[in-house]
Structure 1
Amino acid sequence: MPTARTSETVGRYDKQPTVPLPADARVLTGPAAWTAAAELATERAAGRAPLLVVDAYPGADLPRIKDAVAEALPDWAVVDVEDAAALPVELIDARIADNLTDDRVFGVLSHAGVDAFYDAERLDKLAVEADGADHPVVLVGWGADLVARRTGAPYALVLADMARWEIQLRQREGAPNWRAGNPGEDRLRKYKRGFFVEWRAADRHKRTMFDRVDFVLDANAVGAAHGDPRPAGMVTGDAFRAAIANAAQRPFRVVPFFDPGVWGGQWMKEKLDLDPSQPNYAWCFDCVPEENSLLLADADGRIVEIPSLDLIFTQPKALLGERTYARFGAEFPIRFDFLDTMGGGNLSLQVHPLTDYIQQTFGMHYTQDESYYMLDAGDDAVVYLGTKDGVDKEAMLADLRAAETGERPFEAEKYVNAFPAKKHDHFLIPAGTIHSSGANSMVLEISATPFIFTFKLWDWGRVGLDGIPRPVHLDHGERNLAWERDGAWTGEHLVNRVETLSSGDGVTEERTGLHELEFIEVRRHWFTDEVRHDTEGTVNVLNLVEGDEVEVASPTGAFAPYTVHYAETFIVPAAVGPYVIRRTARSQSGTFGTVKASVRGTSVGNG
């Protein structure tokens, strides 16, 4: 490993990365957008009463969308499909009760479609009325396309799409789940209803529309949380499809989002140029495509924000690679996120479910294996990992239960190993391993992507930012703890398993994990000028962990050089093939380092 390191340039981290729209595409806003959609509907009607359909993702601000349509198209009748045909919320609640369970956090993944939330006879009635109308009609709401398809008539289709993160922000500010009337409910329960039920059905539904959609509306900007002043833009379906097809052929970044927490630190505020008035930042989802967004930008700088999930759903083979797609389906299996405890507190002591358990209990087909890569660390930083040698299992569980009831604090270091941590260390955490990052650490978490399946065992006696005790799941945790992963085993198998693969010409390549039970392979490259890579037919996820600035280039000129700054996570789609990472003309650093994650066993020629 090179020993010379230069300090990173502060303030370059790009919080609003964009993906270009085609050169001739323009983002439409205001009445002009709705007029364009209405003109297309009229053209297709060919003498019939025109029909315009606005199918909105659940969580979209439907009243504001309807108001905008009515203002722009005063001669069109606006029909709210949800009000006219949705089932009563009491019946919906009964249908999804088994998926929601009584737990505050965990449910069971639903396989329902959007039609499960509607009265079929009322949908049929709406279709007959729309088909027989003698005036222009706009159908608005989640599932509006269900009605339009029943008519057999031609129509123009608008998808009002939005990202899960924006939905969560709105729910924190009092927005309910879809027609649920639960504005004051615990935000974890709101998230659970979305994650296990609503978003599953909504994603299945919108995947049926991607090839047909005529316009995409940025519903993130309609009634955006925190008063976002950005106008709600709309692009044509052709421009939307072309932009995401192009993104699957070149490096790109999703839009990161940052969130405070009870254990949050100060490192990201300083290094990533965040709002200094905030008390802390605990998380950054720097690459979680299921929740992050993509910003599609036209030549004039106007933006349409879409879920990055849309890229996964529409370009899975080009993005993931054929073998990774065959293994995981249209899901992005690798997650990079930041956990900042610099000047903060310990993360919760936790464990992730074993694969069989997550499948049988929650309906998720793979689990959250992960690792902690230390972007930075204080002198006293530690990672809690694995039980101590000879631990008394029953005594430990008894003490955890006593801590859960508030009887006495849990003495973590009595039962759990605390390994010293320094910058660029890598700690591997296969599912079933008890773990936590201690205070004064800046962690790049490299993991699989099942999101919320973390069983907290002890949270150091804290409550959440909402004043409610953070949930602890000892029953789940007990069933998944791998007690055999004690100090000796953990130290040998999970701490800094660095293997030098090659060194020369200013480049050192190392394998840093993950553990053999995990499906993610991580390689680290140190270099002074440039290093050559090849996706080998599977998606690569990388982070610049050392150095100020590099660019990703194509040896054949297949895409324009793409600039990456310190600590930025970027995705190189499988379709890219060979690529080069090199210093830029502005780079001041002497040494650069990247970590690269990919799915094991899916590379071309990997047997």
Structure 2
Amino acid sequence: MYNPFPYDDPRPVNRPHILAEVVESVVCGSLNSAKSLAARVESLRNANPGKSVILAFDGYATAEWQEMINLLSQQLAGKGILLEQKNYLDNLKEEEEINNMIDPLLEWDREKDPTLLYGKIFRGGYEALLDPDKTEAFRSELRKIREGNEGKVVVVYGNGCLIPANMQLFDLKLYFDVTPKESILRIRRGQYVNLGQKEARPANQIIRRCYYADFEMAVNLRRSLLRECALDYYVPSDKPGNLQLVPMSSLKEIFTSMASYPFRAKPVYLEGVWGGTYVKKLRNLPADMRNCAWVFDLIPMEVSIVVEVGRNKVEFPFQTFFMTASEEVMGKKCADKFGGYFPIRFNYDDSYHSTGNMSVQCHSNEKYNRENFDELGRQDESYYVVEAGHDAKTFIGFRDDADVDQFIKEIKIADKEYKPVDYMKYISYEESRPGLQVMIPAGTVHSSGRNQVVLEIGSLTIGSYTYKLYDYLRPDLDGIPRPIHTYHGERTVARDRTTTWVRNNIVQKPRIARSGEGWSEVIVGESPLLYFSLRRLEFEKEIEDNTNGKFHVLTLVDGEKIRIRSKQHPERYFDAEFMDMVVVPSTIGEYVVENLGVEPIRVHKTMLKDGFENE
């Protein structure tokens, strides 16, 4: 997610039942949060006269501490208490030494990676960035403060201060979380430099290093802190002036309640050179948005969750919620198989009334990702056509008569010499129509053509390994020619997936899975090459289903409005409108989908295949 549009969609709000005591415990607003925290500090001092109180402010990459520190300092000063501040990042190694650890993991060869997008994961963690002598002196100083009787109040702030080796040094531990979209926007606003850097690199280089290092370290530490309930307070910190203070026990209760309801994530919207107008009109997106190419409705690493807590709304990254409730949401087999990652991702590609097609592209498989990027997951995809205009096409596979070697040769020349390629001579396509399901196993050449909206569903991909093979020689929205990735594309594209193979294997005729009076469930796509099953629920009034220990994701692709509710607990429901995506957690079991409108309903359903754990 390199360039999200700065827009907060107000609609996707989840309203699970939250206990009254939990609602009362959540403090909203930066000043109120500082007052509450100051009262807690004073309580600790009064309980242990003469003893010092040491706070730790850790957080996700791009987290900002100064607002809370300043307000806390004001509150304590009013009580005659001085707040002493210590920047944990002063303990880092020198910039050159850190660069020598991380930069070699990043790709710098523009022949392989024209935009310097790729790299390998830094596995050292925050610990590897610390200078041993500085860190020992820091810990020794804090131990002396703890053992003394000066009654100090000290705040240590900075990414990584809550690593396991430091935990015993602190009396109060706070984690300042930031949603993925806001993290990227802060980088682009010039509010962040990479850990260990004195000066900012170009924004895209900061983001790349964040992806392979800064974000990776933050995600791993956040996971352990949440799973071990090692925090005193969780601080949603996207909005200056509205920091919130959530006790760890209350956060767990909120997440537990969330996992017992169908729920929806908060989308992220992105402009693109081939972007369309359909979603922009449907969801009333801002007028100054040039178009809407991608809608990240449920990309686990990119979206957030909004929960209504009393009169307030609390927002947190999807991954933060998921790290603590993965088994409840996915089911035990799935949690064991995918290591706590949500295994399927969902978004829309909107080229409706646009100026052109998506690029001709392919993606890499798990073996290639591990060997080249030290990355988990593979990039299988699928397209379900939700809306199609005149002459819309879905490009998939090579033509039976295509000379793939010649195609590769021509796209390389096009990239260097700016010569157009007659891609239609090589790439096969299906005429698009609403309801068309196309599966795209890793390696399959493909593109979503202009004038349609597709629901894209893909496998677990932590990163994005999209190799553009041909992009019609067009510039991007910034006026710079779009990069072509022939190095990786040539090595990953499946040359034998031609029209005949495609129509025999990955473009299937729908078949009935089950049916009854006024309803049916249809399999629209299932392949040994994908670990998920693609289905469609068709009904007039309602249909019943059962998660059977596996999560489902439902998307209303035709109709006005539906209610997805637990059969055992009908008060646990979510009302979805056209094109909304809803997760039905595994723990819900039997559930009902009701038609709240007058039109017949079509709901796209995605689930893990039976036996997925053995693939």
Residue equivalent to 1:93: 99
Residues 177 and 194 of structure 1 are in contact (CA less than 8 Å); yes or no, is this contact kept in structure 2? no
Aligned counterparts of 1:593 and 1:273: Cα–Cα separation in 2:
23
Question: Deviation at 1:343?
Answer: 1.4
Aligned counterparts of 1:505 and 1:151: Cα–Cα separation in 2:
60
Question: Deviation at 1:87?
Answer: 2.3
Residue equivalent to 1:110: 122
| Shift in alpha-carbon separation, 1:183–1:154, aligned structure 2, 3 A | closer
Residue equivalent to 1:326: 336
- Residue 84 of structure 1 pairs with residue 90 of structure 2: yes
| Shift in alpha-carbon separation, 1:241–1:384, aligned structure 2, 3 A | same
Residues 551 and 561 of structure 1 are in contact (CA less than 8 Å); yes or no, is this contact kept in structure 2? yes
Residue equivalent to 2:603: 594
Task: Give the secondary structure class of the aligned counterpart of 1:115.
Answer: helix
- Residue 73 of structure 1 pairs with residue 94 of structure 2: no
Residue equivalent to 2:59: 56
Task: Give the secondary structure class of the aligned counterpart of 1:121.
Answer: helix
Matches within 5 A, 1:550-569: 550-557=562-569, 559-569=571-581
Question: Deviation at 1:398?
Answer: 0.9
Q: How many pairs were matched up?
A: 581
Residue equivalent to 2:353: 343
Out of 506, 510, 529, the residue aligned to residue 517 of structure 1 is 529
Aligned counterparts of 1:603 and 1:536: Cα–Cα separation in 2:
14
Aligned counterparts of 2:365 and 2:53: Cα–Cα separation in 1:
54
Higher deviation after alignment, 75-84 or 289-298 = 75-84
Aligned counterparts of 1:44 and 1:316: Cα–Cα separation in 2:
35
- Residue 212 of structure 1 pairs with residue 214 of structure 2: no
Aligned counterparts of 1:201 and 1:575: Cα–Cα separation in 2:
31
Q: Deviations over 1:52-92 (max 9, x none)?
A: 21112111124444334333433343434344212233222
One-letter amino acid of the counterpart of residue 499, structure 1: R
Residue equivalent to 2:321: 311
| Shift in alpha-carbon separation, 1:280–1:446, aligned structure 2, 3 A | same
Residues 22 and 239 of structure 1 are in contact (CA less than 8 Å); yes or no, is this contact kept in structure 2? no
Task: Give the secondary structure class of the aligned counterpart of 1:242.
Answer: helix
One-letter amino acid of the counterpart of residue 568, structure 2: T
Q: Deviations over 1:142-182 (max 9, x none)?
A: 122249x5473551111101122211122223344434355
| Shift in alpha-carbon separation, 1:370–1:363, aligned structure 2, 3 A | same
Out of 9, 17, 22, the residue aligned to residue 19 of structure 2 is 22
Aligned counterparts of 1:485 and 1:142: Cα–Cα separation in 2:
47
Matches within 5 A, 1:506-585: 506-557=518-569, 559-584=571-596
One-letter amino acid of the counterpart of residue 208, structure 1: S
Residue equivalent to 1:478: 490
Matches within 5 A, 1:36-435: 36-44=36-44, 46-47=48-49, 48-74=51-77, 75-102=81-108, 103=113, 104-133=116-145, 134=150, 135-146=152-163, 150=166, 152-153=168-169, 155-179=171-195, 180-181=197-198, 183=200, 185-187=202-204, 189-210=205-226, 211-222=229-240, 231-300=242-311, 302-344=312-354, 345-435=356-446
| Shift in alpha-carbon separation, 1:151–1:61, aligned structure 2, 3 A | closer
| Shift in alpha-carbon separation, 1:594–1:253, aligned structure 2, 3 A | same
% same residue: 26
Residue equivalent to 1:7: none
Residues 13 and 308 of structure 2 are in contact (CA less than 8 Å); yes or no, is this contact kept in structure 1? no
Q: Deviations over 1:5-55 (max 9, x none)?
A: xxxxxxxx9633235553332333223212322433454463311112111
Residues 159 and 217 of structure 1 are in contact (CA less than 8 Å); yes or no, is this contact kept in structure 2? yes
Q: Deviations over 1:335-365 (max 9, x none)?
A: 1101110111211111000221112111223
Question: Deviation at 1:184?
Answer: 5.3
> What is the TM-score of this pair, normalised by structure 2?
0.90
Residues 381 and 421 of structure 1 are in contact (CA less than 8 Å); yes or no, is this contact kept in structure 2? yes
Task: Give the secondary structure class of the aligned counterpart of 2:190.
Answer: coil
Question: Deviation at 1:209?
Answer: 1.6
Question: Deviation at 1:559?
Answer: 4.5
| Shift in alpha-carbon separation, 1:463–1:407, aligned structure 2, 3 A | closer
Residues 357 and 448 of structure 2 are in contact (CA less than 8 Å); yes or no, is this contact kept in structure 1? yes
Aligned counterparts of 2:336 and 2:507: Cα–Cα separation in 1:
32
